[in-house]
Structure 1
Amino acid sequence: MGDVGEVYHACYRRLVVQLYAFTTDLPEAHDAVQEAFARAVGRPRGFAGIDNPEAWLRAVALNVVRRRWRRRGILDRFLLRERPLQEHAGQPDADARTDLTDALDAIPRSYREVIVLHYYADLSVEEIAAALNVPIGTVKSRLSRGRAALAVRLPGYEVARA
């Protein structure tokens, strides 16, 4: 368990920042990272046999988020059959969010995912392809399209290329 504790102290904040950039929801980012650490603690030998614990945790946290989004989508489709969509009280004030967060939130999830992994997690195209189990060409295409989508939403900002 000391091994998990060391990794927790070394990379918890970094993982939360990466997941926040992906989800644009800080509580959800914290929950997903905590869930990933809980799964690590639940493993009989912690991180034994895992070459890169941080990458493993990131993949688990991303999968947690994706699963939650799928479940919410199913629930939303079911609920929308019963009544029309209404404005939710308690939505974050748009003025309190940064330009980048708004832009990331507005682009498709598949683009946001590779943008976050590339720029926030500092992963190479090959590492992203391995983490997401997609071809390298797909990652390159999503990065290119994600950059273009961000450029439209962030006038005056230069989107760095890999």
Structure 2
Amino acid sequence: MPRADSFDAFYLGSRQRIYSCVYALTSNAAEAQDAMQEAYARAWQRWSTVGEYADPEAWVRTVARRIAVSRWRRARAALGAYRRAGPPPDVPGPDPDNVVLVEALRRLPVAQRTALVLHHMAGLPVAEVARETGVPEGTVKARLSRGRRALANLLEPTPAEEAHHV
């Protein structure tokens, strides 16, 4: 019997028993499925050896169980670290000016937006922007010039906003 056919037959004949066992251990369907799938993937990689074992199902079941236990240990360690360090600090919301800028950038053509972001926000020189985008430096300069003009128009305050600030 070819390798793939023998593995398929093994998988179809054993998957429900393996799943039931791992699910009973984890009491979590998603964790059981993940551990089982990883165990079967490992069995497939070693099928020329595992397939010759007296009980390949025991091998897969053991691997799946160890994977599940390893995940529990990692989760427990993460919980311990969380308890020691406490919750992560609150992340401040985005700066309102940054929100306005990103919204204006979104309205620009992608090429201009890319040039502006790489040059002004990432701090890359024109030559590096040209290398990263695969265009000549003159094209980057033109995109920067057009993009700045378009961005200035988009960010120009409306008469209502000007009246509000006076």
TM superposition score normalised by structure 2:
0.47
Select the structure of larger CA radius of gyration.
2
| Greater RCO, 1 or 2 (C-alpha within 8 Å, sep 6+) | 1
